[in-house]
Chains A and B, each alone.
Chain A
Amino acid sequence: MRLLSLLLIFLNSLIFTGIIIRTKSIFSGRKGPGIFQPIKDIVRLLRKGSVYSETSSFIFKIAPVVYMAAILMAILFIPFGNQKSILSFDGDFVFFAYVLALGRFFMILAALDTGSSFEGMGASREALYAMLIEPAFFILMGSFALLTGYTSFAGIFSALHFGSYISYGIGILTAFVFIIIALVENSRMPIDDPKTHLELTMVHEVMVLDNSGFDMGLILYAVNLKFALFGAIIANFFLTPGFQWYYSIPIYIGVQLVFACIVGVVESFAARFRMNHNPQFIVMFTSVSLLIFVGVLLILGKLK
């Protein structure tokens, strides 16, 4: 049963971007490509060879693999409701955050390795935004560790249950913050526009301009996996213990679908932020997670 979470994440990763694109298509009055089109594109890329620039070193070649491996590693820590995850130990959410950061670190190095001024720009932006979103994640997970008394994902989610009004408030706020964290992690709107053709305004896309073929396929699939990964974390907040699997699996998939649709809607009806407003926007979510922290303190009765 420990494999269930892994299986569901892979399943969701196949359709996640497809749903985002379909949502956007519908809202702009078009039919749009099939749900599986992004995955078909990735499979096509995976069958191709890669082209490497003469100026880049081995870092550039290993980075996509390290990136992918880091995300796969992180997935192993995600439980499914009160089912244990494959790997679990005390404080694993810290490991989770930094194993993802390691993958990103290699992507940043690879971008700098190409020596292109575009990619340097993109790398500096990505490093900044990833750094700014970190406090929000840790305050959030820290609060839940405090609330439940466990410090691993599996422990937190198996012990978590909502009872009072405050806890529902906390649940909604948490889902909200996690959606934003996922958007920042994946460089989506309103932080970055994945569809743009303008290198000067890109964040993540410009970092991978030099990647091609198999490497590009890995990077694109990693985006899908990362979305499904964060979707799984959000879904876990709604899988309170005691649900049978025939309730919890539909809830899980439903949450993932709603998450994908939300991303699609955000990308349809708003413009992207100006680049220098992004840090403000991201830091703001640290304060939202502080609110959750206060909520936890209220529940625990530490604030009188």
Chain B
Amino acid sequence: MINTIVVKNNQCIPLPEIPVLAYHDFLEWNTTRVKDINFHCVSYFGWKRKGRIRLFCCMADDAEGTIAISSAEVPGDRGQSLPSFTARHFSFHCFERDLHEKLGINYSDHPWLKPLRYPVDRADQHSTIENYPFFSMESEELHEVGVGPVHAGIIEPGHFRFICNGEQILHLEIQLGYQHRGIEQLFISQNDLLKRNLLAESIAGDSVIGHTVAFANAWESLCGFQAGDDIQVARTVASELERIAIHTGDLSALCTDVAYQLGSSVFGRLRTPVINTFQVWCGNRLAKGLIRAGKNQYPLTGNIKNALIRLFDEFEPDFNEMYKRTKTLPSVLARMERTGILTTEQAVETGAVGMAARSAGLIRDIRWTHPCMMYASLPHQPVVKHHGDVYSRMQIRRAEVNQSIRYIRDLLDRLPETNLHNPPLSRPKADVMAISLTEGWRGEICHCAITDHNGELALYNIKDPSMHNWMALALAVRHNDISDFPICNKSFNLSYCGHDL
């Protein structure tokens, strides 16, 4: 019996070819697979059509570089309860909470069916954030500290509820959803490629390139468009440049949070010329407008090549010197080492991805396992640390910045001719599904698109790396001082709006 269809990253699959299983077999197959360390779930979503819900589960096979897609159909009425995936493996928890919230699917044995977001377009309109029963502990010794959703500084809104014993955190509950904009719905209702492209840019303001590249790849694969080398190189360079900018900014923010002024201001100043290069390239410091599906909107010209080379010649020595100073300063190390430890077991359980997973010895890197764009031609090896603490995540950032500079230099050496005569994009094929994975600076980004039989977009599903990693953060801060929460949080640097969509 064929359980799944195995596809490559950015492949377009005709819908009828995706096997439909009975729910029990669907559950059995996927939860068995995920026990293998090489498999993890990149996306699991439902599509409501004609009163029935079709569930799609996409499992990435890191060893083979493929994605196994299976599906099942369940009745759309809210009466019956299904056995949950989460009871078998915890990493499915957020997907099932999302399904419960959006489509009203009930589960008989889900351990914590709390809403993922509190959007307006949820199935049960009666449950709101006002009447949500937060997890609490009755004790004379413990106290609760609530932070947010109105947040200090310029951070996004989110609510954090700590249960503490003195200065020590026993439990942290994170409730998000204050930024829910209904992006997935907007993708369908905005019937215009440019508008969709702009939407992709606004999923998360700090991962403009990551999400837009994922969208462009998915869309091109729906349309059967093969992007030329010049487009691919530009997208790869942009992805790596975004990684450098954000990682450097994060190092600055980590120094700020431990009150190390020198690191804070030097890394902060180093980030500026990087994002200014984006400004030179495409007119926007956050790289909005740079990536467009089906064309090379801003070709990587000789001028920009020179600007990049100059940038790195100045950036690299200063960056390395400042990092060396920071990592040899005892007072900084005292704050970062053995703080906010994420164990490998926790990383596997929560389904952590990206940098957070790699800091805990779990190799999850789409550039390595499912390479797209130019990554197959780069000698990429994921940076992996094993302690899972704040310091590991700092080390990874530094190593990845150096790596990214190497890759961009390598790509600039073999810059292909710009093809100015790309054929216009055709309409998307009818009844197909496209899945696109990219490694943003935060971790893997997964976009899935399905078209109906008129070739119109019928479903768009986005998975930001933050979705899994928020739970990893909640586990990592346990038994830490509450005063160390900000640096733990910063070391993960998760997105609120990417999660809230």
Q: Which of A182-223 contact B (CB under 8 A)?
A: 189-190, 193, 195-201
- B114-151 Cβ-contact flags toward A at 8 Å (1 or 0): 00000000000000000000000000000111110000
- B296-338 Cβ-contact flags toward A at 8 Å (1 or 0): 0000000000000000000000000000000001011011000
Q: Is the CB of B482 within 8 A of A200?
A: yes
Q: Is the CB of A267 within 8 A of B483?
A: no
Report the bound CA distance from A201 to B269 in whole Å.
25
How many chain A residues have a CB neighbour from B under 8 Å? 30
Q: Is the CB of B331 within 8 A of A275?
A: no
Q: Is the CB of A270 within 8 A of B486?
A: no
Q: Which of B145-196 contact A (CB under 8 A)?
A: 145-147, 152-153, 167
Given contacts A117-B146, A121-B482, A199-B152, contact A277 B259 (CB under 8 A): no
Q: Which of B255-278 contact A (CB under 8 A)?
A: 255-262, 264-266, 269
Given contacts A30-B265, A117-B144, A197-B152, contact A271 B259 (CB under 8 A): yes
Q: Is the CB of B145 within 8 A of A117?
A: yes
Among B260, B265, B482, B483, point to the contact of A29 (Cβ < 8 A): B265
Q: Which of B4-36 contact A (CB under 8 A)?
A: none
Q: Is the CB of A276 within 8 A of B481?
A: yes
Q: Is the CB of B153 within 8 A of A197?
A: yes
Q: Is the CB of B329 within 8 A of A270?
A: yes
Task: Say if the beta carbon of A57 comes within 8 Å of chain B.
Answer: no
Q: Is the CB of B260 within 8 A of A271?
A: yes
Task: Say if the beta carbon of A58 comes within 8 Å of chain B.
Answer: no
Q: Kindly provide the distance from the CB of A290 to the nearest chain B CB, expressed in whole angstroms.
A: 25
- B354-383 Cβ-contact flags toward A at 8 Å (1 or 0): 000000000000000000000000000000
Residues of chain B within 8 A of A199, CB atoms compared: 147, 152
Q: Kindly provide the distance from the CB of B473 to the nearest chain A CB, expressed in whole angstroms.
A: 14
Report the bound CA distance from A120 to B143 in whole Å.
10
Q: Kindly provide the distance from the CB of A269 to the nearest chain B CB, expressed in whole angstroms.
A: 6
Residues of chain B within 8 A of A29, CB atoms compared: 265-266, 269
Task: Say if the beta carbon of A47 comes within 8 Å of chain B.
Answer: no
Report the bound CA distance from A271 to B394 in whole Å.
15
Q: Kindly provide the distance from the CB of A114 to the nearest chain B CB, expressed in whole angstroms.
A: 14
Task: Say if the beta carbon of A272 comes within 8 Å of chain B.
Answer: yes
Q: Is the CB of A271 within 8 A of B143?
A: no
Q: Is the CB of A200 within 8 A of B147?
A: yes
Task: Say if the beta carbon of A105 comes within 8 Å of chain B.
Answer: no
Q: Is the CB of A196 within 8 A of B259?
A: yes
Q: Which of A92-135 contact B (CB under 8 A)?
A: 117-118, 120-121
Report the bound CA distance from A27 to B143 in whole Å.
40
How many chain B residues have a CB neighbour from A under 8 Å? 32
Residues of chain B within 8 A of A272, CB atoms compared: 258-260, 331, 335
Report the bound CA distance from A272 to B259 in whole Å.
6
Q: Is the CB of B261 within 8 A of A201?
A: no
Report the bound CA distance from A68 to B41 in whole Å.
60
Task: Say if the beta carbon of A83 comes within 8 Å of chain B.
Answer: no
Report the bound CA distance from A27 to B325 in whole Å.
15
Number of A-B contacts (CB under 8 A): 85
Q: Is the CB of A274 within 8 A of B265?
A: no
Q: Which residue of A lies closest to B144 (CB)?
A: A117
- A269-300 Cβ-contact flags toward B at 8 Å (1 or 0): 11111111100000000000000000000000
Task: Say if the beta carbon of A240 comes within 8 Å of chain B.
Answer: no
Report the bound CA distance from A190 to B259 in whole Å.
9
Q: Is the CB of A193 within 8 A of B485?
A: no
Among A120, A200, A274, point to the contact of B335 (Cβ < 8 A): A274
Q: Is the CB of B147 within 8 A of A27?
A: no
Q: Is the CB of A200 within 8 A of B262?
A: no
Among B147, B481, B486, point to the contact of A274 (Cβ < 8 A): B481
Q: Kindly provide the distance from the CB of A168 to the nearest chain B CB, expressed in whole angstroms.
A: 29
Task: Say if the beta carbon of A56 comes within 8 Å of chain B.
Answer: no
Among B261, B331, B335, point to the contact of A27 (Cβ < 8 A): B261
Q: Most chain-B Cβ atoms within 10 A of its Cβ — which of A200, A201, A269, A275?
A: A200
Q: Which residue of B lies closest to A270 (CB)?
A: B331
Q: Is the CB of A275 within 8 A of B261?
A: no
Task: Say if the beta carbon of B62 comes within 8 Å of chain A.
Answer: no
Residues of chain A within 8 A of B456, CB atoms compared: none
- B219-258 Cβ-contact flags toward A at 8 Å (1 or 0): 0000000000000000000000000000000000001111
Residues of chain A within 8 A of B167, CB atoms compared: 121, 275-276
Report the bound CA distance from A274 to B329 in whole Å.
14
Residues of chain A within 8 A of B73, CB atoms compared: none
Report the bound CA distance from A225 to B146 in whole Å.
34
Report the bound CA distance from A267 to B484 in whole Å.
19
Residues of chain A within 8 A of B269, CB atoms compared: 29
Q: Is the CB of B152 within 8 A of A198?
A: yes
Q: Kindly provide the distance from the CB of B493 to the nearest chain A CB, expressed in whole angstroms.
A: 14
Ordered by A's residue number, 27 sampled pairs between the chains whose C-beta atoms are within 8 Å are A117-B144, A117-B146, A120-B143, A121-B167, A121-B482, A189-B259, A190-B331, A193-B259, A197-B152, A198-B152, A198-B153, A199-B152, A200-B147, A267-B259, A271-B255, A271-B258, A271-B259, A271-B329, A272-B260, A272-B331, A272-B335, A273-B334, A273-B335, A274-B483, A275-B167, A275-B481, A275-B484
Residues of A within 8 A of B (CB): 24, 27-30, 117-118, 120-121, 189-190, 193, 195-201, 267-277
Nearest 8 Cβ contacts at the A-B interface: A193-B259, A28-B265, A272-B259, A275-B483, A271-B260, A271-B258, A271-B331, A198-B486
